[in-house]
A and B are shown apart, each in its own frame.
Chain A
Amino acid sequence: MATLHTKSAARAMMAPAVIVLLIWMIVPLAMTLYFSTLNYTLYNPFSTPFIGFENYTYFLQDPTFLAALANTLILVLGVLAITVIGGILIALLLDQEFYGVNIVRLLVIAPFFVMPTVAALVWKNMMMNPVYGVIGQFLQAIGLAPIDWMTELPLLSIIIIVAWQWLPFATLILLTALQSLSEDQKEAAEMDGAGALSIFWYITLPHMSRAITVVILIQTIFLLSIYAEILVTTQGGPGSQSTNITYLVAQQATSYGDIGAASAGGIVAVILANIVAIFLVRLIGKNLDA
């Protein structure tokens, strides 16, 4: 019975959890907001005078900020494009019945279990190193000049590494969506004269739209905060070519010891993430209802 009584009982039961969660969220946020208004550096942590919005103007006017903003967007969009398109293609492949499909499915999922730092290091040293990396060796074998990925194409390198990590997630979600498409619908479309491409375009893709939305939403949240992969490969360089907002914020604290500016940057990042989230939900969130 969903009566008033059971509702208030439910509220009372949930209260402790909700309160703990609130404190969990509110306290760090409030602290960050507070620090962002102080001149707080690790070189002189005992004198932290109030300076108002100065940290914000400093952070926003930093020429690296715009570069980092652009890098963040390119990183997110690039990884999304690769994982969604690649995920759909691999899911289509894995949906077929062929010998050893179970083992292939397992292998495809494997990258997801590799820690970000490990994955990035493996890519940096074993794949992308111009001298002894697999890609460099391969390019040399076919007579092309090897590429020094980390210095020549730093942002692309990171996009590739992160996409490799997230491809399994996208594939898995899209594959389950694909497998839930009823055979009848495909057969009906076949009877209606649709070829393989038309079936994909008019039947399969719309069927997967909700899963694609989920993949985009979840990945965006994580991709906005990529840090470890940049730290162990390019460290944001050369210059700021592969610095994203998260890395820039961390840099303020770790490299320059400026807690105040880092806090201000953190708040800016939160606001940016919310803008992106609102955009996303507006744009594709309607796929989630109905």
Chain B
Amino acid sequence: MGQIHLEKVRKAFGEAVIIPELDLQIEDGEFVVFVGPSGCGKSTLLRLIAGLEDVTGGQIVIDGQDATELPPAKRGLAMVFQSYALYPHMSVRKNIAFPLKMAGMDQAEINRRVDYAAKTLNLDNYIDRRPAQLSGGQRQRVAIGRAIVREPAAFLFDEPLSNLDAALRVGMRLEISELHQRLKTTMVYVTHDQVEAMTMADKIVVLRAGHIEQVGSPLELYSAPRNTFVAGFIGSPKMNQLGGAEAARYNAETIGIRPEHLRLSTTEGTWKGTVKVSEHLGSDTFLHVESPVHDEPLTVRADGEFPVHAGDVVYLTPEEDKIHRFDAKGLAIR
């Protein structure tokens, strides 16, 4: 079980209100990702759920039980910190065994569980080393190992991969996803990485200044963003947002069109522009095109190689059914 309901949760540090009033339902077995710009309160929200911060108002209900006043250890949740927070003077084995030891479990059962966790996470070879003797990825695995031995109702991750290099991050991302497939335990995951959010989540929660802007599956957020903020935040490269006359043609204050939904041509199209920067990746081509319809360059993505370079003239045609329309308040018009 791992059902977490936040009801009218508020958090203020003194005068500063970080989370105004927030409702959120996390169902059992879900992989929920919190995304949002830096300082929007993702970590704070996670720490509220963990019990490391006290709520200023509202209720946190875990598995139908009011957990608002419970100390962290009693909530049955496990957390993986961005800094890993391993105990430096303990071996990997002792690190993983620590929560079990604190729970007063008998040594045989502790050994059984630690060995099992070590095997699942490929930690066997350095089980007797200290954290200082491990690489970043290995430390991350130990931190996850320490979390899984407790068999918690839910895992909380605060940007667990942000200290790893790009290649390792991809690997660990897969491992965590696999772990979720296997354990089917609720996971709440904070990140500001687009790709992590899109690939791992069952449900993404987009936060801005402590407010939930939208909750939904990755594809829902991608294809039907509720407002301009979500539209700009989800998807990489960012959605192009145009105002003025072009938007008025579609009866909207702002229109949005994703880089992959602009068709490219060197001969004809709706909008004429000049290539400012071209990025050729082989698999994709990204162009930044200056055009009179918008004061900022438009980002365009073409599949495969598209042979144009800075200074060349190109024509862009938006795919009509992929245009997002927003009203004066920035809300989507459906």
A contacts, CB < 8 Å to B: 182, 184-185, 187-194, 198, 202-203, 206-207, 209, 290
Q: Are B83 and A191 in contact (CB under 8 A)?
A: no
Q: Are B50 and A191 in contact (CB under 8 A)?
A: yes
**A194 proximity list for chain B (CB < 8 A):** 73, 98, 102
- The digit string for B68-104, where 1 denotes a CB below 8 A from any CB of A, is 0001110001110101011111100000001100110
Given contact pairs A184-B81, A206-B89, A207-B89, A192 touches B102 in the complex (Cβ within 8 A): yes
Given contact pairs A184-B81, A206-B89, A192 touches B98 in the complex (Cβ within 8 A): yes
For chain B, the bracket of interface size reads: 20 to 34
Q: Which among B52, B87, B103, B130 is the interface contact of A190 at CB below 8 angstroms? A: B52
20 example contacts (A-B, Cβ-Cβ < 8 A) are as follows A184-B83, A184-B85, A187-B72, A187-B81, A188-B85, A188-B87, A190-B72, A190-B73, A191-B52, A191-B73, A191-B99, A192-B73, A192-B150, A198-B102, A202-B87, A202-B90, A202-B98, A206-B89, A207-B89, A290-B132
A185 to B86, CA, bound (A): 7
Which secondary structure dominates where chain B touches chain A?
loop
**A192 proximity list for chain B (CB < 8 A):** 73, 98-99, 102, 146, 150
Name 4 extra pairs, CB < 8 A, besides A188-B79, A191-B50.
A184-B85, A187-B81, A193-B99, A194-B73
A112 to B81, CA, bound (A): 40
**A185 proximity list for chain B (CB < 8 A):** 85-87
What residue in chain B is nearest A188 (Cβ atoms)? B85
A203 to B73, CA, bound (A): 16
A152 to chain B, nearest CB (A): 44
B 219-242 contacts with A by CB, 8 A: none
A238 to chain B, nearest CB (A): 47
Q: Are B83 and A182 in contact (CB under 8 A)?
A: yes
B109 to chain A, nearest CB (A): 15
A89 to B329, CA, bound (A): 58
- The digit string for B121-163, where 1 denotes a CB below 8 A from any CB of A, is 0000000001010000000000000100010000000000000
Q: Which among B77, B81, B150 is the interface contact of A188 at CB below 8 angstroms? A: B81
Q: Are B87 and A187 in contact (CB under 8 A)?
A: no
Q: Are A191 and B87 in contact (CB under 8 A)?
A: no
**B83 proximity list for chain A (CB < 8 A):** 182, 184
Given contact pairs A192-B146, A203-B87, A187 touches B52 in the complex (Cβ within 8 A): yes
What residue in chain B is nearest A199 (Cβ atoms)? B102
A132 to B1, CA, bound (A): 71
A93 to chain B, nearest CB (A): 23
What residue in chain B is nearest A203 (Cβ atoms)? B87
B8 to chain A, nearest CB (A): 25
**B81 proximity list for chain A (CB < 8 A):** 184, 187-188
